[in-house]
Amino acid sequence: MSDQEAAKLNAEAAPHPRDEIPASELARAIGPEADADLHGDPDDPDPTPSATEASTMTAWRVAKALLALRIQVDALAPRRNKASDGTIGDRRHESSASDHNPWVRDGATGVVTAMDITHSPDLGCDAGTLAAAFREQRDPRIKYIIWNRRIANSSAVGGAPAWGWRRYTGANPHDHHIHISVKPEPASYDSQTAWALPASLKTVPVS
């Protein structure tokens, strides 16, 4: 990561007041209340921490591991569409069990441990290429990913082995963006270690 990118990451990691959600960080694909899709893993037996902890925080920020990932993706696909990008869920969903809520606590600051990255194959960022890289590399920071009606958890859950695909049946098929959740421990969510990504995120032809 360049000095310029490191400065960008530090700026983006500064806590926001609880009521301040920049448009660039709002998770857009959770949907209205009635058909909310919280981007969770329905088979995870322990989706802790408790969502009720969110009510006492005074500020929030995004996990540094995810900010580092986004900076790398932006460098690989600088013209990519960001229409479905987002991190934090809106206030309507804050009491729900979603990694898009700042429910991991760092003192009085809540940490968002999920990020959506837009599928933008025409502009150099194919979410399927990203998903394949994550499953191949098995980065220990990842909790689970959701892409194109499938979910893969880094642990063995729901009868599937670690990193195995399972069908995802949430209201949002996740075919316009990939969801990435990182684990709730600081060594995972705030690690700024470079992600092992391919040299290009363009569409990989199916042979």
Contact status, residue 74 vs residue 82, Cβ threshold 8 Å: no
| Minimum CB–partner distance for residue 111 and Zn ion (Å) | 15
Q: Shortest gap between Cβ of 207 and Zn ion (angstroms)?
A: 30
Quick check: 39 binds Zn ion (CB under 5 A)? yes
Does residue number 82 form part of the binding site for Zn ion (CB under 5 A)? no
Within residues 115-154, the interface with Zn ion by CB under 5 A covers: 116
CA-closest candidate to residue 27, choices 142, 185, 181, 193: 181
CA dist 37 and 66 (Å) reads 20
The residue within the footprint of Zn ion, chosen from 18, 93, 135, 179 (CB under 5 A), is: 179
- Provide, rounded to whole angstroms, the least separation between the CB of residue 95 and Zn ion: 17
Residue placing its CB nearer to Zn ion in the complex, 32 or 205: 32
Q: Name the one range near Zn ion by CB under 5 A: 11-19, 33-41, 120-128, 152-160.
A: 33-41
Pick the piece of the chain touching Zn ion (CB under 5 A) from 18-26, 113-121, 126-134, 195-203: 113-121
Name beta bridge partners: 106. 109
**Min separation Cβ 178 and Zn ion, Å:** 8
Q: Does 70 bind Zn ion (CB under 5 A)?
A: no
| Radius of gyration over every alpha carbon of the chain, rounded to an integer in angstroms | 16
Instruction: Report whether 195 contacts 136 (CB < 8 A).
Output: no
Contact between 85 and Zn ion by CB under 5 A: the answer reads no
Smallest gap from Cβ 62 to Zn ion, in A, equals: 12
Q: How far is the CB of 132 from Zn ion (least distance, A)?
A: 18
Stretch that binds Zn ion, among 14-22, 31-39, 134-142, 158-166 (CB under 5 A): 31-39
Contacts to Zn ion by CB under 5 A = 39, 116, 179
